[in-house]
Homo-oligomer: A and B are copies of this chain.
């Protein structure tokens, strides 16, 4: 046994000491080392359990700084290839037989490039996630946890976070609510699910915007609720178009998804009147309106209503990171009890682990600083994309957008005469671009034609390059 271990050990040491890192390569040394070490591990599953050389020793052998080695080790610790043991030492992780892919197959580890290509909409830039500050808040909140954190969790969420969200909504969205009205959820889907199961009932009809967010229709159908599509014009949804027998309407008044239009004040008032006279509920999905670049936003619909017939739904996926899986629901006082009973029965799906850290992150002012920073960055990226799309002026209607994380560009006549938005989307997909077709978000006949171009998650170079690729592709359509 000792023989095998010794062999593994000297094998690993030999491979590591034999590495050559390229100081002139654009890739930083620690990434070169991490990649090489990952390859060694993936190519020889039998190394599991082998101890890595001490960082000082390896740094000496490779003539790099010790920091380069520890950074590379940390990276692979985070990815699960290595594990640290008590009493010190870093080892090739034990579960590697599973991680090692069949020969010739690429490892199925999360690849950013695979599922996050320009112009994927609705994603924040992960590179700007304030991970050091976040790690500090996490560490502080769990090192000496408040008693409530380890007791049976309140199904409505961690109270200080509910209070921090209430403060945030008052400051950023003109929505005044009591922390008791805020319900922490496991993301936006869970928030909708709570509305559909705790407040609405199977067999009811719910008005949804068309075009709109397609998963919503599936969710409703799966809850045995019928989605009734209502066409959205340039002023937003018109409540006069809503038929009778509708129990609720789900709307995105601040910034309609996906077209980006803002519901006019007149239509907001009409919608609230409709809800009051028919005793229907309005679910306001306010998914990214913190990112506003010009002018004053209209206050939230829920704020206008005083949370009488409206529920307000928000999430941290776009503001901070989709990794958090934290959303929230603000409910009228009358709905607190049904939601509490439902969540007491099922338990919350929202992990308590991030909640105290998010609460102190918000209370410390660092969250607001982060939002302002993201807002400046995203505004620049949008401007960059708008100007990079200038060569397509005859093909796409590109208008600067006062808010949001993506542009919705209708097809201009020159392009619309020869292609559909789905053609453009397919062409993009074949060339490494995620160009969503506006019409694929609609179910009513004669949907509007356009493309969604997300810009928030991509730096200006990537946006310019991708716009160039898109321009080339659309030129090809003309030539064909």
Give the B-binding residues of A (Cβ under 8 A): 71, 74-75, 77-80, 83-86, 93-95, 98-99, 108-112, 115-116, 120, 123, 126-127, 129, 131-132, 134-136, 138-154, 159-160, 163-164, 166-167, 178-180, 186-190, 197, 202, 215, 218-219, 222, 224, 321-326, 345-354, 356-357, 359-360, 363-366
Contacts and interface: CB of A to CB of B under 8 A. Distances in A.
Majority secondary structure of chain A interface residues (helix, strand, loop or mixed): helix
A323 B143 CA distance: 14
Contact of A79 (B78, B146, B187): B146
A356 to B, nearest CB: 6
A78 B52 CA distance: 37
A153 B131 CA distance: 16
16 contacts: A79-B160, A80-B356, A80-B360, A80-B363, A86-B364, A86-B365, A95-B167, A99-B163, A129-B145, A187-B349, A188-B347, A189-B347, A324-B351, A325-B347, A353-B353, A353-B357
B347 A326 contact: no
Contacts of A364: 83-86
Nearest to A343: B189
Given A116-B152, A190-B349, A325-B348, 7 more contacts: A75-B144, A80-B363, A86-B364, A95-B167, A153-B325, A189-B346, A215-B345
Contacts of A77: 140, 360
A427 B237 CA distance: 56
Contacts of A139: 135-136, 138-139
Nearest to A353: B354
A22 to B, nearest CB: 21
A150 B136 contact: no
Contacts of A180: 108
A131 B144 contact: yes
Contact of A186 (B116, B154, B325): B325
A142 B138 contact: yes
Contact of A148 (B79, B84, B348): B79
Given A75-B146, A215-B346, A323-B150, A354 B351 contact: yes
A109 B159 contact: yes
A324 B146 CA distance: 15
Contacts of A357: 353
Nearest to A348: B325
A347 B187 contact: yes
Contact of A110 (B93, B123, B132, B151): B151
A114 to B, nearest CB: 9
Given A321-B150, A363-B93, A98 B186 contact: no
Given A224-B224, A351-B353, A143 B152 contact: no
Contacts of A324: 351-353
A149 B353 contact: no
Contacts of A110: 147-148, 151, 153-154, 159
Contacts of A109: 148, 159
A361 to B, nearest CB: 10
A151 B114 CA distance: 10
Nearest to A354: B353
A80 B322 contact: no
A144 B188 contact: no
Contacts of A348: 187, 325
A78 B366 contact: no
A142 B144 CA distance: 18
